Structure 1
């Protein structure tokens, strides 16, 4: 019974570690999404400020205005690409952790089953 108890303790520790790591990944994912939203909002505010400045000063060089908006748009696209890359990495990491967790659980459950079989219970 002592070995069975050890396996059960290992199983519980494994579960706790998995849940902790999952929570950390979820928190990281939430932080990334919040940063994405904040950055997008800041770019929108910058765009609005530029519109105001160009309008107030009656800036007539449309090429410069268009270039500034293209730069903002390119920055937004780059940030979205970078965020997608980070999110994909986090998703992959979460899937890998889940696969390893399931494999280890099966191993412990198999070991536990074998110990029960050997002890006759």
Structure 2
């Protein structure tokens, strides 16, 4: 794995549990960790909806080192330069524990 290709600093987000002012358990968005990554666009499709609305589905492969990403779960999401990516699945290629390939879909807001 070439660490020089990991030029992007990504934020991994999750739902953090906390007690609100009424002593109830609630959840809020919080940064889980910040790691270096390589982001590679994979596929894109353009869809037409009603009233000439265009929708775009763009998937990316985000590569991180195994040690820094081994506690990332599928219910988390990633942000990079004001772009949000929902994690679809996480792959440990050949079970070598060298890197993780995170397949994610960009969410257009």
TM-score (norm 1): 0.20
TM-score (norm 2): 0.21
Write 1 or 2 for the structure with the bigger share of helix. Answer: 1
Higher RCO (CA-CA < 8 Å; seq separation 6+):
1
